[in-house]
Structure 1
């Protein structure tokens, strides 16, 4: 039997507008079962996946706001609040776009040419755009938290590689499969020169959707599998790159897509990335059961005006994605401005939220979104390389638990009932007595 030998418990509670407040609400430690209390049992002997952690994206918009709108003192304070686990929430995963996404000040890739031009030798390839804001901030984040994992995802190849000759619409020209694979290789190697190892790439953001007003590209499962198997994977292997390849990177409602990719390119794919915007989280487990050696990542969920009861909704999403084998819980923009931007020209009205708002008019950070605090509920108690262990999930309490490398236990749970729940948290033969407030969300770091 694995023992915990509890000595101290750090408790963080969110309820209504009081978000991620550290409290001293553990009533007592005990060794006697109370039959009148709800029993939340943590089984340290039943282990699941290892996790990388939680995070968000330095989109062009986010990086610009942090690096150019904030003054030096505010920028330093904000970076610590993002990536330091003691002064802030200790984020440990960054997923950055490779080129422009919807949240960029303009359209760009790393190999932009005039119409009808081509560059199969990638002589004009350059990451100069990223060297101004994105790379300095990503390096700074890694200095604060060296355990950060980096993921990169393109919204579109350079326009000249596509049938549309544009970053909007179209598909990847077959004659450009090899050069596009080399485009990934050059990107990874250029980032390495800045001391940044890309741990993961996905081939295409949301490959089953082609937006008409920002960069994107449809890619069928057969096309993606063929590109990975015969072009991308060989290019990585020939260049001795250790970057892992994730397929799909889209919603839960089309699990047949990654299933098809894995049937065709099983040996070349390291895992699957998922988004929140359609379907059910159980898709993650369905594919894990079929391909248990493949990593599962939850790579995007944006907060926004469409989210009802965002605190409860986003906490539930985090609990659910980890309980369905994900190694990560990644939201979207690290920061947006008071107009939910900047965004690419012609985008229209944005209804997305960042983790925080950085006001361009006032040049300050406003912690007016629940997103930052939701990630903190997970990242402050479940650290990189923690292992998920078994815990309760039922109509009374929904939870997820982790065993950290230092032996501490991270526990996140929700009481969505309209009444307080008197409970006992049981870890082997040790017991924590606690009262979970009505309509609240609690994180505990249980230390030896």
Structure 2
């Protein structure tokens, strides 16, 4: 069968008449298995296999969003560590692992940049800083020079490894002289600067394009309802965001950078009424392609709530961080699967991102902000050695197997602690991710096309199951959450 050749790992090809044979990759909370392929010969689909009381039925005829991918934020801190605290060989090996395909690559397809500094920068800056009392409304001093030493070299290496990498970007603050308090920290964007800020964002997109980095999406402001006390931030209420997008940034991008989308919100699940208010604005709405979400407060179902009101707008989950406040695998691994990988995509997300791609053994470098955030990987600042954290494994269970362009398809849910989500890749292979949030082993059956197999999943564990169907069923478009 021709599609077998495109599967990630070598496996015997199935004939068109043969029942599919599923492959399995397992991670357990005791860390004895970490994305470990299971050589289980019992995962052959059989018509005579009876559906168990816990049964996951996968239906490729019901199709939902098309996936852009999974990944993390390439912060200044992450890039600095890779560029300066690792040898060239170590850095290249790590980037090949994170963005490459094949048996050892986890295949991140989605990445987020900061426009200017965040708390995970070694100094606070924008791309047009001015002395106190000075302004630059024509942006004569605009420059992305701060990106040249670390972020751009690392990003270009990642793009060379994965040319399909989708790059989005978010500002933490406008330049201080555009703001009510003349500071990168706290404050609001002055109304008379709405147009200048929009031009600043366009200049960034154009400068990155000139560097060979296409920005597929922007958000107007990271966490616009939060003014952190010790690192760049800026409050933008819904009326301000609607005015900037509808009167300035939207028309500007449409005319000069039509390949760059605008994503609204970029903040927590807790306040779905805020992006709804911006989408309710008739002038801003046509320029908004989707809504971006963070995980720190509220419920993931907010994503589907807003998309139900505006089904033509895409969903993106653009930030979530692990940290020392949640160190225990039996608790945190199921939470990440339930809320991010499975819950995020079941509630419409086309892409899902963690926050820092990499931090050091001291959870930095950072200047203000989070003191105990955890990167997807930890880089030892003395040796360059890499520790792969639970976020890495949670995301790899999706990113290594779910290809860019895959479609989410229907699978059973709400099964006594079992969460699942299913996808069909462009090569027609099926990927089913199952998480067991219960404290006991769960034995379940998987059904597809009238055939089934059984699997036992340890407590607080996750498994990715993949198979090549003997024939692709006809698809039908379905709205909503299966």
Q: TM-score range, shorter-chain basis?
A: over 0.9
Q: Deviations over 1:51-93 (max 9, x none)?
A: 1110101100000001111001111110011011212210000
Q: Deviations over 1:32-69 (max 9, x none)?
A: 23154632100111111111110101100000001111
* 1:198 equivalent in structure 2: 215
CA contact (8 A) 1:299 1:329 kept: yes
Q: What is the CA–CA distance in structure 2 between the aligned matches of 1:439 and 1:136, rounded to whole Å?
A: 38
* 1:56 equivalent in structure 2: 72
Asked if 1:250 is matched to 2:288, the reply is no
* 1:322 equivalent in structure 2: 345
Divergent runs of 4+, >6 A: none
Which 5+ residue runs of structure 1 have no aligned equivalent? none
Q: What is the CA–CA distance in structure 1 between the aligned matches of 2:448 and 2:404, rounded to whole Å?
A: 21
* 1:429 equivalent in structure 2: 450
* 1:409 equivalent in structure 2: 430
1:14 to 27, 30, 54: 27
Greater shift, 425-434 or 172-181, is seen at 425-434
Post-superposition shift, 1:147? 1.8
2:390 to 363, 370, 378: 370
Q: What is the CA–CA distance in structure 1 between the aligned matches of 2:244 and 2:412, rounded to whole Å?
A: 42
Q: What is the CA–CA distance in structure 2 between the aligned matches of 1:124 and 1:75, rounded to whole Å?
A: 33
Q: When the two structures are superposed, what TM-score results if normalisation uses the length of structure 2?
A: 0.89
Query: Helix, strand or coil: the match of 2:352?
Result: strand
Cα RMSD after superposing both structures? 1.6
Name the CA shift for 1:132/1:257 in 2 (closer, same or farther; >3 Å): same
Q: When the two structures are superposed, what TM-score results if normalisation uses the length of structure 1?
A: 0.95
- Structure 1 residues 84-103: aligned runs within 5 Å: 84-86=100-102, 87-103=104-120
CA contact (8 A) 2:208 2:215 kept: yes
CA contact (8 A) 2:51 2:452 kept: no
Q: What is the CA–CA distance in structure 2 between the aligned matches of 1:290 and 1:357, rounded to whole Å?
A: 40
Query: Helix, strand or coil: the match of 1:383?
Result: coil
Query: Helix, strand or coil: the match of 1:254?
Result: coil
1:358 to 376, 379, 384: 379
1:311 to 333, 338, 349: 333
Q: What is the CA–CA distance in structure 1 between the aligned matches of 2:232 and 2:130, rounded to whole Å?
A: 16
Asked if 1:290 is matched to 2:309, the reply is yes
Q: What is the CA–CA distance in structure 2 between the aligned matches of 1:299 and 1:155, rounded to whole Å?
A: 14
CA contact (8 A) 1:381 1:409 kept: no
CA contact (8 A) 2:86 2:383 kept: no
Query: Helix, strand or coil: the match of 2:365?
Result: coil
* 1:268 equivalent in structure 2: 287
* 2:8 equivalent in structure 1: none
Q: Deviations over 1:159-193 (max 9, x none)?
A: 11111111101111111111111111111111111
* 2:10 equivalent in structure 1: none
Which 5+ residue runs of structure 2 have no aligned equivalent? 1-15, 470-482
2:250 to 230, 233, 237: 233
Greater shift, 275-284 or 14-23, is seen at 14-23
Q: Deviations over 1:359-398 (max 9, x none)?
A: 112332222x211111101111211111101101112421
CA contact (8 A) 1:156 1:167 kept: yes
